[in-house]
Every structure is written in C-alpha cells, then in structure tokens.
Structure 1
Amino acid sequence: MPDVAGWVRSLDPRLKLAAALLIGPGLWKVDVLAAAGCAVFLLALGRFLAVGQPGGGKMVRSLLSFVFFWVAVKAVLDGVTGMPVEYMASDAAQLAVRLVALLMLGLCLALSTSARALGLAVAWALRPFLGRERAWRIALSLSLMVHFLPVCLSTLSGVRGVVARRCPKAGFFRRMRMIPQAVIRNLGQKTWNQTLAVACRGLDRAEAWEPDFAWAARDWAGTGFVLLATAAMFFL
C-alpha cells in the first residue's frame, strides 16, 4: 500500500493551506453529492493521517460525534417549528455532509502539516501586504490555533476515558457537567505550557518566521490534483 500519509505530509505547506482555503468555502456552495464525495475522500485521508498519532482514531470519532449531535439539535428544533419531515431530514442530511467535510478538511490539514509550517506559509503570503512585523504575529497566532485543534480533541478523548473508568455509573447529565469542566482545566494548563514553549524556542520574534520553502515535483502533482478535484466539485 502506498504511503499516502507520508506523501501528503511531504507536500509544500503553502499548497495545503491554499487547498484548504479554496475547498473550505466551496463546500457550502457545491451540490450536496459533490460535498459527500469530498467528505468520503477526506474521511479516508484522515484515517491514513491519524495512524500513529496519539488518539488519532478517537479524534475522528469525536469530530463525527460533534457533527451528529448538532445535526440532531437542528432536526429537533426544525421539528418543533412544524417543518415537514421530508424537508427536515433533507436539511439535516445536507448539514451533516457539509460539516463532516469541513471539519475533516481542517483535521487533515492539522494532521498533515505542523503548526509552525502553516505559520511560515501564512507569513510568506502576508508579508508583501502587511509587512514583516505584522505577518509573523499573525503567523504565530494561526500556528497556535492550528496546534490546539488536535490538542483539544485528544484532551476531550482522554477526559472522557478517565470519566468512564473512574465514574462508570455516572449518568448523562452528570458527565456533561464533569467533562467540560475537566477539559477547560486541562486546556488552561496546556495554554500556559504552550506559552513557555513559544518563549523558550524563540518563536516570539520575527527572525523565527523567515520562510525557507523549496517547491518540488510532487508539489506540482499535488497542485494538479487539487485543481482537478475543485473543478469536479463545481462543474460536474
């Protein structure tokens, strides 16, 4: 089996960031069948990228649980307002498909590219317009945000596992009180640790965000695939 995850990780971060910015908004405009095809592809890619990652499979399941929870909430609210069942089911299915595709797109980006590499790509793109000083600050902010997506998912997964082992008889409403509080406390500690890590590695200065990219043949192949996939989503 080809090393799909390794090939995707080796692509230029500028290409992957551009692909996410191109495909992400388009998922809300294309036909639902095109969005469904994109969701299936991204789910498969996410499974490849999650292999070997701490709690990788649980991250994917957590995202799917998040989507189906909010889709169920929307369906209930639509039912309360008296919407016909066929329209309610159609709207819920379309929302589920588009949300799954969008969240998996973000997760694949986070799992295939380091937060620093994405930050360097953003600094490279913004420097001609905003200047060196503003560009690196925005790049650092985006890097921290991207870094925290898998951190939040892994923290949530870990807390749920601990609650299941220590409080096996806890009911649904008790777990819904315990888990958010524990997750927020854990993330607060990780935020402080991340601040220290940024300072210790010297990432709080412009010199650390000087891009040094090299475009390779595989990046041209990846560009062609992204353009073909985008054209298929919009025009087929």
Structure 2
Amino acid sequence: MRLSASHIREADPRLKLALCLALGPGLWLFEPVVVAVAGIGLLGVLLSLAVEQPLGRDMVRSLAFFVLFWVGLKVGVEMVTGMGWQEAATDGLVLALRLSTLLVLGLALALSTSARSLGLAVSWLLRPVIGGERAWRIALSLALMIHFLPLCLSTLAQVKEAYRGRCPQCSLARRAVGIPLAVVRNLGQKTWNQTLAVAGRGLESPQAWAPDFRWSRRDSLWGVGCLLLIAAAWLA
C-alpha cells in the first residue's frame, strides 16, 4: 500500500486534476453499478494514501453526517411529494453512493497532491487563456482554499471537544449558537497566520507559480489507462 501510495503521489498533478475533472461529473451520470465499482477502486486508493496521512475520526464522522443529511432530505422531500417509501429509499441509496464516491475522489486528490501542486496545475492550465498575471492569482486563491478546508474541519472538531469538556450540560440550542461563533472567531485569527505564511514563503509573486512540471512515460501510461476506463464507464 505504501508503494502504490508513493506512485500516486509522484504522478503529475496535471494528470490527477484532469482525471478528477473527467470522472467527477460522470459519477452523477453513470449507472449505479458503475459508480459502485469506481467507488471501490477509489476507496482502495484512499486507504493506501491514508496509511501515512490518516484522515481522522472526526473528519470521517463529519463527512458521513454530510451524506446522511442530504440523503435524509432527499428521501423526506420525495415522500412528501407522494413517492412510495421503497422508491424514495432506493433513490436515497443511489444518492448516498454517488455522494460518497465523489467525496472519496476528492479526498484521494487532496491526500495525493499538495495544495501548491494543484495551484501550479491550475496556473499551467489557465495561463494560455487568461494570461500569467491572472493565472497565478487564481492558483494562489485555490491553494489557500484547499489548505483552509481541512483547517476548518479540524477547528470545528477542536471547538466541539472544548464544549464537551468545559460545558457538558449545555443545551442543544446554546451549542448551535456558541459553536459556530467560536469557529468563526478562531478561523479569523488563523487568517493572519496564513498571510504570514504566504509572505514568508514568497508565494505572493508570479515567479512562485511558474509551472515546472516534468511529464514522464509512466504518467502517459497512467493517463491512457484511466481514460480508457472512464470511456468504458461512459459507454456502459
């Protein structure tokens, strides 16, 4: 698993970004059986990547709650509109499968590629279209957003743990108000740290976002193989 994870991390970020962009929309259009097969394969990739970089129990719980929330909402709306519970439950299971597979795809991309590498790939893609000045600014914004998302989840988990330890008798209404306020305040304090990190590493200049990729023969083989699998899934 460590060997396969190292091969995935060493792959060109442009290849991984292109494969995710090609596979992501298909997960909403493929047949459920095809989505299930893709989900099993992506789950194996994610597990190999998570050996050295664990996801964390709180993050997995938050993602599971996200899936259950939207599935419950869909099932409830369909039953209210007159659909039978069996059909509504089937649609809910299909939605859960598609959402879960899409989340696994995003997590695999996040664990296999750094935020800066993804930003460089986006800069390389947009540079011929919108120019170098706009491309590196978009790349920096994307890298900061990708870096900030897991920071938001970890901050939320820390605030919840602090509330459980310091105020175990708090009502649900009080937690619903206090936890978001504490998360927003903590994230506001972390933005200054992000600014200092960007300035300290010199990422606020276009020179830092000049792509320096090296495409290898292995990337070509991976790309052709994955594109053939995606094409077969579209034709299934």
- TM-score strictly above 0.5: yes
Q: How does 1:153-232 map to 2 (within 5 A)?
A: 153-232=153-232
- Give 1:128's aligned amino acid: P
Consecutive unaligned residues in structure 1, runs of 5 or more: none
Q: Distance in 1 between matches of 2:46 and 2:144?
A: 21
Query: What secondary structure, in the 3-state scheme, does the structure 1 residue paired with 2:183 have?
Result: helix
Compared CA separation, residues 169 and 38, structure 1 to 2 (3 A): farther
Query: How many Å apart are 1:179 and its aligned residue?
Result: 3.0
Which stretch shows the higher mean deviation, 205-214 or 74-83? 74-83
For 1:108, the equivalent position in structure 2 comes to 108
Compared CA separation, residues 92 and 171, structure 1 to 2 (3 A): farther
TM-score, length of structure 2 as denominator length: 0.89
Q: Distance in 2 between matches of 1:225 and 1:175?
A: 49
- Cα deviation digits, residues 143-191 of structure 1 (max 9, x gap): 1121122222222333333333334444544443333333222222222
Q: Distance in 2 between matches of 1:107 and 1:195?
A: 25
Q: What is the total number of aligned residue pairs between the two structures?
A: 236
- Cα deviation digits, residues 76-121 of structure 1 (max 9, x gap): 2322333211221122111111111112211211111111111111
For 1:60, the equivalent position in structure 2 comes to 60
- Aligned-pair Cα RMSD in Å: 2.1
Query: What secondary structure, in the 3-state scheme, does the structure 1 residue paired with 2:231 have?
Result: helix
Q: Is the 8 A contact 1:67 1:100 kept in 2?
A: yes
Compared CA separation, residues 123 and 164, structure 1 to 2 (3 A): same
For 1:36, the equivalent position in structure 2 comes to 36
Q: Is the 8 A contact 2:136 2:206 kept in 1?
A: yes
For 1:152, the equivalent position in structure 2 comes to 152
TM-score, length of structure 1 as denominator length: 0.89
The percentage of aligned residue pairs carrying the same residue is: 55
Q: Is the 8 A contact 2:27 2:98 kept in 1?
A: yes
For 2:128, the equivalent position in structure 1 comes to 128
Consecutive unaligned residues in structure 2, runs of 5 or more: none
Query: What secondary structure, in the 3-state scheme, does the structure 2 residue paired with 1:3 have?
Result: helix
